[in-house]
């Protein structure tokens, strides 16, 4: 009987670990796709329209900039809008929508746990005027809402970008 209970316990622990891995992979893939789009948008950045995220009602924040996407020479207004989604295991999750010229053109899914996007000067210092923007720093942290309090549950991606007009 004791052996049976021990086998059951080990087996269920293993099953939980496998579920966590699957959930983590799904989240990591989603994060990677989102980061790729973000990277493409920021690589073509021309100038910023906001210094940092501007707050709207309901905990929503928006960061906007103008960018050329891919080979397209048209300058588009791109916004990343963060909206609170739900709390899981004590952590507030957000989703981030990508808007092109005011129209929603994709979103991250409810996996974002931390998000910062801010324009900086040449020395990576804070600015008060969008004309002084020489860098854009972005950091995102994502997690799977299905994972409780395991050691590894989140993935972090951060980078800096340099608007061409300022160089």
Partner 1 sequence: MPQTMLAILAMMLFSLFAVQQQEKVYFAQSTMIRQTVSAMLNGAAVERLEEIGSKGYDQSIVDNETVTSTAELASAATGFGPGNDPTPEDDIDDFHAALDTLYRAVGTDSLSFHVESTVQYADEVNPSVPAAGGIKTKFKLVTVTVRSIDLEDLEATVSRSFSCGSGCQW
List residues binding partner 1 (CB under 8 A): 3, 6-7, 10-11, 13-14, 17-18, 20-21, 24-25, 28, 31-32, 35, 39, 43, 151-152, 154-162, 164, 167
Q: Given phi > 0 = left and psi -120 to 50 = alpha, else beta, which region is 58?
A: left
Q: Given phi > 0 = left and psi -120 to 50 = alpha, else beta, which region is 78?
A: beta
Task: Give how far Cα 78 sits from Cα of 1, 92, 144, Å.
Answer: 63, 25, 26
Q: Which is nearer to partner 1, 86 or 152 (CB)?
A: 152
Q: Which is nearer to partner 1, 25 or 56 (CB)?
A: 25
* Residue 162: CB minimum distance to partner 1, A: 4
Q: Which is nearer to partner 1, 26 or 100 (CB)?
A: 26
**Could you tell me the sign of the dihedral formed by the alpha carbons of 24, 30, 36, 42, in that order?**
negative
* Residue 85: CB minimum distance to partner 1, A: 21
* Residue 3: CB minimum distance to partner 1, A: 5
Task: Give how far Cα 59 sits from Cα of 48, 56, 95, 157, Å.
Answer: 22, 6, 12, 23
Q: Which is nearer to partner 1, 24 or 94 (CB)?
A: 24
Cβ-Cβ contacts under 8 Å for 165 (sequence gap 6 or more): 46, 47
* Residue 108: CB minimum distance to partner 1, A: 14
């Amino acid at each position: 009987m004791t052996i049976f209970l021990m086998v059951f316990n080990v087996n269920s622990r293993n099953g939980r670990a496998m579920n966590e891995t699957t959930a983590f992979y799904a989240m990591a893939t989603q994060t990677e796709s989102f980061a790729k789009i973000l990277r493409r948008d920021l690589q073509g950045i021309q100038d910023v329209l906001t210094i940092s995220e501007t707050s709207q009602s309901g905990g929503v924040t928006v960061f906007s900039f103008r960018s050329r996407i891919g080979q397209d020479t048209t300058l588009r207004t791109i916004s990343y809008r963060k909206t609170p989604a739900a709390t899981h295991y004590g952590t507030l999750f957000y989703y981030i929508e990508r808007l092109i010229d005011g129209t929603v053109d994709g979103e991250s899914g409810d996996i974002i746990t931390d998000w910062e996007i801010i324009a900086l000067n040449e020395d990576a210092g804070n600015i008060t005027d969008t004309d002084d923007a020489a860098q854009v720093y972005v950091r995102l942290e994502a997690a799977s809402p299905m994972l409780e309090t395991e050691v590894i549950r989140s993935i972090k991606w951060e980078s800096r970008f340099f608007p061409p007009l300022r160089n």
